[in-house]
Amino acid sequence: MRAKGEAFRTIWQKPGDPLVVQIIDQRMLPHEYVVRDLRSWQDGAHAISEMLVRGAPLIGATAAWSLYLAAAAGRCAGNAQREVQLAADSLRKTRPTAVNLRWAIDRVLAVARASDEQHLVATLEREASAICDEDIEISKGIGRHGLPLLEEIALRKAGAPVQVLTHCNAGSLATINWGTATAPIYFAHQKGIDIHVWVDETRPRNQGSQLTAWELAENGVPHTVIVDNTGGHLMQHGMVDICITGTDRTTRSGDVANKIGTYLKALAAHDNNVPFYVALPSTTIDWTISDGIRDIPIEERDPREVSQVFGLTREGTGTVQTIASGTPVLNYAFDVTPARLITGLITECGICEASESGLARLFPERAVRK
């Protein structure tokens, strides 16, 4: 994935000023490409909770970099370890559903505890950097393993475009680069396979129409935006060959929490015999729980995400209020798709059935530990 003519990353240290971490303010896309400085772990926590960054892997990476910033801030006062612990406790609460957040924090904390105060900043810089590098490799692994699914459809359709439907943004912007659901798409596109993506708008935050459409356009991948209501109709009429989404948390039995509305698309896919795949780094698997509908906490967010819509006005970017003031609004951010509706999970280690045995086969060491 390349954007703005540069080799693309969603989070990086500022050139010449390694104590500043930079991100793209994804709230402004596609209308403005704004880079923001994170100068403290509080900036990082704000970026996560206010969704300047979003997407499970990028949330994890941002938390890791935030802990590095905490260590740097604590160093001057001689209490870097304490500051890191404090930051970790706060960061953990920013988003309840994504499990990568917890995973990244735990990983960095383990490294921090093994480090002495003097080397803490350098250690956490290395760790955050490693998490990002590994995430790119993970995305590429997902791309490699998912590619044959698309190649097979291309072969069957003999030249007609492979029609993929995706929900929300599980793209480069949700990771460090390449994305999860989009990695097989980018790999197929680079291989010259004729591919077209149906992009769900993804209310309320419009991550599909604003983020996925943006990065597909930047990479020259043909796509069409549809409202979230449309996917079922397309599938009824044979206009979708395969659905691929991401996930914020996957249970050990293969239930998948992802952006609200994913479940509805999985139902439509099931009803129309369209394969429904979920792409994920193994870091999004929560081995401690099995029943996703019962046990995954679903974040409830500000009703204004529904009632205020962001975009371009005549005077630049701005919002309109679509709903009458005082109207009650409820805004759940995720839903859970039960494993029975999922054809397969595409991970960096291969594809498996969305089931306890399927996941155990692919990750025997993790499944046993539980």
Q: Which of 186, 263, 277, 363 binds a copy of itself (CB under 8 A)?
A: 263
The answer to whether 334 and 202 are in contact (CB under 8 A) is no
Residues 24-53 that bind a copy of itself (CB under 8 A): 30-31
Q: Which is nearer to a copy of itself, 51 or 128 (CB)?
A: 51
Regarding 226 and contact with a copy of itself (CB under 8 A), the answer is yes
**Active centre residues (catalytic):** 248
One residue of 19, 49, 331, 360 binding a copy of itself per CB under 8 A: 331
| Residue from 19, 136, 193, 298 binding a copy of itself (CB under 8 A) | 298
What is d(CA 26, CA 23) in angstroms, rounded to the nearest whole number? 9
Say whether residue 193 binds a copy of itself (CB under 8 A). no
322 binds a copy of itself (CB under 8 A): yes
Give the C-alpha separation, 65 to 232, whole Å. 40
Contacting a copy of itself (CB under 8 A), which of 297, 321, 357, 361?
Answer: 321
- What single-letter amino acid sits at 78? G
Q: List, in order, residues 6 or more apart from 146 with CB less than 8 Å away.
A: 183, 184, 187, 244, 277, 279, 346, 351
- Find the shortest distance in angstroms from Cβ 290 to a copy of itself: 16
What is d(CA 130, CA 32) in angstroms, rounded to the nearest whole number? 29
Q: Is 224 in the site for a copy of itself (CB under 8 A)?
A: yes
State yes or no: residue 213 binds a copy of itself (CB under 8 A). Answer: yes
Residue 23: helix, strand or coil by DSSP? strand
Q: Which residues of 116-152 are buried (b: 16+ CB within 10 A; e: fewer)?
A: eeeebbebbbebbbebbebbbebbbbbbebbbebbbe
Interface with a copy of itself, residue 169, by CB under 8 A: no
Nearest in space to 186 (alpha carbons), one of 208, 164, 205, 159: 164
Is there binding between residue 209 and a copy of itself (CB under 8 A)?
yes
If you search the block for the tokens 């949700």, which residue do you land on? Answer: 174
Which is closer to a copy of itself, CB of 303 or CB of 350?
303
- 339 scored as a contact of a copy of itself (CB under 8 A): no
Nearer to a copy of itself by Cβ, of 129 and 331: the residue is 331
Binding of residue 304 to a copy of itself (CB under 8 A): no
Is position 202 an interface residue for a copy of itself (rule: CB under 8 A)?
A: yes
110 makes contact with a copy of itself (CB under 8 A): no
Question: What SS3 state is found at 63?
Answer: helix
Among residues 190, 288, 327, 357, the one that binds a copy of itself under rule CB under 8 A? 327
DSSP three-state, residue 334: strand
CB of 299 to a copy of itself, least distance (A): 12
- Classify 227 as helix, strand or coil: coil
Nearest to 202, CA basis, from 179, 229, 175? 229
List residues near a copy of itself by CB under 8 A.
Answer: 30-31, 201-204, 206, 209-210, 213-214, 217, 222-233, 236-237, 259-261, 263-265, 267-268, 271, 293, 298, 306-307, 309-314, 318-324, 327-332, 334-336
